[in-house]
Structure 1
Amino acid sequence: MDIWSDIACPWCYVGKRRFESALGQFGHAENVEVVWHSFELDPSAPVRSPVSMRDGLARKYGRSPAQAQEMMDHMTGVAAQDGLDYHFDQTQITNTFQAHQLLHLAAEKGLQDALKERLMRAYLTEGEFLGDPEVLVRLATEAGLDGAEARAALSGGDYAQAVRQDEAQAQALGISGVPFFVLGGKYGVNGAQSPEVLLGALNQVWAETHPAPLTLLGSAEVQDGCEDGQCAVPQRG
């Protein structure tokens, strides 16, 4: 399962929760490998923005501040249904390029999902400023990464190219919105679909890649036929 998403995307956090719900109901969850891929909703976003979430939405969609507030309230209500507690009034809008770099480091350490969860909660619930490298390092250590290693990866830009490769792959696949789920490298599911839709996709891909054994009809005893590469032909006398 390859998932493209952005840390600063409210629907992506909801999509993560819904996918986790679907995976919890999937009978072969232990066979599913999840890889999170980088996607920036606004690659040109400044590291520190003086604009609030409400005003940013109003400008982006041509709405009034009151209408933008209604959008945030609706999103908060949707998130709450999936157990998430959003606080858009505390959100500090920033560029997420550095955060995505750390996710690639975390993938190498088997901690990608843990860091993804920590970063999303920090941005959407706790109002952390993810544009500060030291904040990112602290959050990385809370997810289990080595702080010195995380700091060095950020200062050296070790995973900058990996982020750009993810984004180039998304463009090649025609992905223009997130979250976007790719199952088995073959099927795509766009948006924060319900757990039922995601579970159905998991079951479909599993059925296609792991066909069920044949069910033998009739007697279980071996009848006339060929087995083990041999075929006894009765002789006529």
Structure 2
Amino acid sequence: MTDLQTPAVPASIKVDVWSDIACPWCYIGKRKLEAGIEAYAAQPGTPAVEIEYHSFELSPDTPVGFDGDEVDFLSQHKGIPAEQARQMLTRVVGIAEDVGLHYDFDVLQHANTVKAHELIHYAKSKGLQLQAKERLLKAYFEDGRNVGRIDDLADLAAEIGLDRDDVVRSLESEEYLAAVRADQRQAQEYGIQGVPFFVIDGKYGVSGAQDAATFVDVFGQVAGERDASADAAQA
């Protein structure tokens, strides 16, 4: 009888992502990361890639409800001239379309995102973090939904299968605010000043909405280093 051993399953590659719901490049970066993972997974014998999202607030001083559109916000809070802001948004809309996203800045409701980050941590505790992140980004950039108010967030949470009443309880009690603050402290320790920011396998940092090929290259480098380490250990 031949003794057949099942090949060991490679340990997954961990990608920790710092991002904000109100960051247009974060949604674009999410799509590019997903495309990179899909392309990498198409190669035989590659390890799986695991994603975890972490909180980052680009504008923590944003009110829960901002009375104005995106151009007004960029002008009033960022000091960007209105015409320049319009040109920036037009460019972002075009880049988003290239990855299958349909930004609508005319209906976007600018809001403080701390409660949205709390909801993402809550969803993580229920095994639905990725679904929550996707729903909130779509709600903000494509659907014109408010992501700053508890009732609106609870409605969005219910759409992905979370218990609406329990979400309200969690957000009202600030159950996961400490987890949000812990993510932000970790970002400071890493020196992260802008998002999206990707930490791959705990040691490689990728900043910005990079092309899918960039992620494929880093995943390959991680896997190659693992193989070299394993070979050295067996030598």
Shorter-chain TM-score range: 0.7 to 0.9
- Counterpart in the other structure of 1:98: 115
User: In 2, distance between residues paired with 1:197 and 1:7?
Assistant: 23
Please say which of residues 75-84 and 46-55 is displaced more in the overlay. Answer: 46-55
Which residue number in structure 2 is paired with residue 233 of structure 1?
none
Q: Secondary structure at the match of 2:106?
A: helix
Task: Tell me the secondary structure at the aligned position of residue 64 of structure 2.
Answer: coil
Comparing 175-184 and 144-153, the one that deviates more = 144-153
Change (3 A) 1:65 1:134: same
SS at 2:95's partner residue? helix
- Decide whether aligned partners of structure 1 residues 187 and 155 sit closer, same or farther in structure 2, where only a CA change above 3 A counts: same
Which of 47, 51, 61 aligns to 1:44? It is: 61
Which amino acid in 1 is paired with 2:71? R
1:223 — aligned with what? none
Q: Aligned residue for 1:209?
A: 226
CA distance in 2, matches of 1:208, 1:108: 32
Match of 2:102 among 85, 94, 98: 85
Matches within 5 A, 1:107-186: 107-186=124-203
Which consecutive unaligned segments of at least 5 residues does structure 1 have?
215-237
Deviations 1:76-111 (A, max 9, x none): 000000000000111111100001001011111111
- The count of corresponding residues between Structure 1 and Structure 2 is 214
SS at match of 2:17: strand
Match of 1:5 in 2: 19
- Where 2:205 maps in the other structure, the secondary structure is strand
Counterpart residue number, 1:19: 33
**Residue identity in the other structure for 1:42:** S
Instruction: Tell me: CA distance 1:138–1:30, structure 2 relative to 1, closer, same or farther (3 Å).
Output: farther
Question: 1:29 offset after TM fit, Å?
Answer: 6.8
Please tell me whether residue 68 in structure 1 is matched to residue 82 in structure 2. no
1:43 deviation in Å? Answer: 1.0
Task: Give the deviation of 1:25 after TM superposition.
Answer: 1.0
TM-score with structure 1 setting the length: 0.86
CA distance in structure 2 between the aligned counterparts of 1:208 and 1:150, rounded to whole angstroms = 42
Range 105-114 or range 77-86, more displaced: 105-114
Q: Which residue of 2 aligns with 1:226?
A: none
Offset at residue 30 of structure 1 (A): 6.0
More divergent stretch after superposition (157-166 vs 103-112): 103-112
Contact 2:115 2:149 in 1 (8 A): no
Judge conservation of contact 1:58–1:67 (CA < 8 Å) in 2.
Answer: no
Are the equivalent residues in 1 in contact too, given 2:72–2:82 (CA < 8 A)? yes
Q: Which runs of 5+ in 2 are unaligned?
A: 1-14
Q: Quick one: percent identity of the two aligned structures?
A: 43
Aligned to 1:191: 208
What do residues 207-233 of structure 1 show as CA deviations (whole Å, max 9, x unaligned)?
21244987xxxxxxxxxxxxxxxxxxx
Post-superposition offset of 1:144: 2.1
Q: What is the CA–CA distance in structure 2 between the aligned matches of 1:207 and 1:145, rounded to whole Å? A: 39
Distance, in Å, in 2 between the alignment partners of 1:45 and 1:111 is 27
Letter in 2 for 1:20: E
Q: Partner amino acid for 1:94?
A: A
Letter paired with 1:12: C
RMSD over aligned CA atoms reads 1.6
Instruction: Indicate the structure (1 or 2) with the bigger Cα radius of gyration.
Output: 1
Cα 1:210–1:101 change in 2 (3 A) is: farther
Query: Whole-Å Cα distance in 2 between the matches of residues 30 and 46 of structure 1?
Result: 43
